[in-house]
């Protein structure tokens, strides 16, 4: 998975718009758009700022190892079209994946936050 795709997943999971992420990281929205479309690569300084804003590590954004345990792994798994997801000999549809994502969100919901 590309850096841009991982950045987009983390941004959306943080409920940020491109403009919101840009403001928090002190760059332009156009620059965030270029990062997400893989037309630009961030400096290490910016990568660390983005990771901090997104509550992730720079490794979560940069690492391309498919079996590495980390924050992005489940989000990647639930992204439609990325790979086939099976459960008990049944291939999950996009609708099944969205339902699974809602169930996980409900289980992890913290009313105190």
Per-residue pLDDT reduced to its tens digit, 61-107: 886 544 445 555 566 666 666 566 677 777 778 788 788 878 887 88
**pLDDT, tens digit, 9 for 90 and up, residues 24-43:** 999 999 999 999 998 998 99
Residues 18, 36: contact at Cβ < 8 Å? yes
Determine the structural domain holding residue 103 and report its residue range.
78-113
CB atoms within 10 A of CB 53: 19
Residues 16 and 56 placed together within one structural domain of the fold: yes
Residues 20 and 45 placed together within one structural domain of the fold: yes
Residues 43 and 89 placed together within one structural domain of the fold: no
Residue 63 neighbours by CB under 8 Å, 6+ apart: 70
**Two tokens, residue 113:** 């936050």
Q: Model's pTM, two decimal places?
A: 0.59
Please report whether residue 71 resides in a domain: no
Quick one: pLDDT band at residue 19, thresholds 50, 70, 90?
very high
């Amino acid at each position: 998975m590309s850096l841009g795709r991982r950045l987009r997943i983390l941004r959306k999971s943080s409920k940020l718009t491109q403009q919101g992420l840009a403001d928090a990281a002190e760059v332009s929205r156009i620059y965030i758009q270029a990062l997400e479309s893989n037309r630009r690569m961030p400096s290490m300084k910016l990568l660390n700022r983005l990771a901090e804003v997104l509550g992730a590590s720079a490794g979560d954004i940069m690492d391309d190892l498919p079996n590495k345990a980390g924050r992005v792994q489940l989000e990647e798994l639930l992204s439609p079209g990325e790979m086939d997801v099976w459960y008990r000999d049944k291939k999950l549809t996009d609708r099944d994946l969205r339902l699974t994502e809602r169930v996980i969100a409900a289980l992890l919901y913290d009313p105190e936050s």
